Structure 1
Amino acid sequence: MKKDIRYSCYPFMREKSSCVDYEIRTDSLTTRIGAVIPTLLDDEKGQIVLEDLRIIHPLAYHANGSVRGKLAITEEDLSWLSDRYDFYVSNVKETIQQFLLPQGVESSARLHICRSEAKKSYRALHKVSEEREVPEILFDFLGLLANVFFVMAVYMNKEHSFEEIPFISKSYPTKKAK
């Protein structure tokens, strides 16, 4: 009897390979990016971020399939993302000289969640790299993507005049808040 596909949410779910965990993590990342987009549709101050997310959104799924399948993240993608990072940093440079609590307007809070998901995806990719060879560009992409989400979040708070809250660690020496 043929198995009914309605009971299978993902064909590789029972694999022992860490690749499955990476694919699930990047699927979560892509889903979280999709959850930011509606918060920006009617936000005239968020149109630059919205335009960038419309490019980043499919790139996250390309990163998803780039381990099991053909590498789909290119040097051009990485260069574009790096340019976007530079754009956002140029707008929030003073604010990001310290640790900040992840919070803010709704789009910013969701971008912080995306940042965290990108870091989890990076870590899952590291686990895959212990089992098989992984293209270095995927690590570069996910690391940079996490940082882009961070500066995007700070940018959105700045655009909405939402004050960042510095975080002063009791565990590690950090720069003093200004």
Structure 2
Amino acid sequence: MNRKGERKLYYTGNGDSGFSYTLKQRLSKDSDLIEAIGDIDELQAFLGYAWSKTKEKDVKDIIEQVIYNLYLINAKIAGFEKKDFSEEETKILEKLIDSYAGKIKPIKKFVYPLGTESAVLLNVCRTLARKAERHVVKINGEKSILSYMNRLSSLLYVLYRYENEKNGFKDETFDVK
């Protein structure tokens, strides 16, 4: 409490015993649901970091929409959102993937995770999206959410490569042969 007797919004102390709360339940902080929510939160934070580093307005707009959709997904899996997550959002990601893939050189080899700061951050976000997807799969069977999480990492990979090309960084590739 502050001097006026108002509750502080930055901490509650409710989680001090290793439990967290969703709308419906009290859960151990190591539960699959809390892991999924935390992974999405971590992804959103890094997307914000990537947003701050890119100079591309179109990429900033995409990142903002993805962050918004991840809030909707977190609300849904935590039990706050009653309506289904729209499959249209996955179709939008697919259109973006196709559009940005058309702006970059095709590859047939593995690409080393190098490049400009904004590009590398998008690649980090790609790996975080994959991690979040693995936890979401454990706790949520809603096809629209699973499809969105799966496409998101593909979009982030294409944006990573787009950022590099746009800024003159040439991909370094690795051939497994």
TM-score, shorter chain, exceeding 0.5: yes
Q: Distance in 2 between matches of 1:116 and 1:88?
A: 19
3-state SS of 1:92 partner: coil
Residue 22 of structure 1: how far off its partner (Å): 0.6
Bigger Cα displacement from structure 2, 120-129 vs 66-75: 66-75
SS in 2 for 1:125: helix
Change (3 A) 1:97 1:22: same
Q: 1:60 aligns with which of 49, 52, 70?
A: 70
Does residue 37 (structure 1) correspond to residue 51 (structure 2)? The answer is: yes
1:48 equivalenced with 2:91 (yes/no): no
> Which residue pairs with 2:99 in the alignment?
87
Change (3 A) 1:66 1:161: same
Deviations 1:82-107 (Å, cap 9, x if unpaired)? 1111111111242x332101121011
**How far apart are the structure 2 equivalents of 1:167 and 1:65?**
40
Deviates more, 1:56-65 or 1:21-30: 56-65
What's the offset of the Cα at 1:127?
2.2
Q: How far 1:51 sits from its partner (Å)?
A: 1.6
Q: Which runs of 5+ in 2 are unaligned?
A: 1-10
Q: CA separation in 1, counterparts of 2:143 and 2:89?
A: 14
User: What TM-score do the two structures reach when normalised by structure 2?
Assistant: 0.80
> What does residue 122 of structure 2 align with?
111
Kindly indicate whether the alpha-carbon contact (under 8 Å) linking 2:29 and 2:35 is maintained by their aligned counterparts in 1: no
Structure 1 residue 6: deviation in Å? 4.3
Instruction: After TM superposition, list the pairs within 5 Å mapping 1:149-164 onto structure 2.
Output: 149-164=156-171
| Structure 1: 5+ residue stretches without partners | 174-178
Post-superposition offset of 1:54: 1.5
Instruction: Determine if contact 1:39/1:106 at 8 Å carries over to the other structure.
Output: yes
In 2, the alpha carbon distance for the partners of 1:154 and 1:13 equals: 39
Which has a greater percent of strand?
Answer: 2
Partner Cα separation in structure 2 for residue 50 and residue 24 of structure 1 = 23
> Which secondary structure does the structure 2 equivalent of 1:157 belong to?
helix
Residues 126 and 154 in structure 2, CA contact (< 8 A), matched pair in contact too: yes
Query: Hey, what does 1:23 align to over in structure 2?
Result: 37
Q: What's the % identity of the aligned pairs? A: 21
Structure-1-length-normalised TM-score: 0.80
CA RMSD in angstroms comes to: 2.1
**Is 1:126 the equivalent of 2:133?**
no
Q: Is 2:85 the counterpart of 1:73?
A: yes
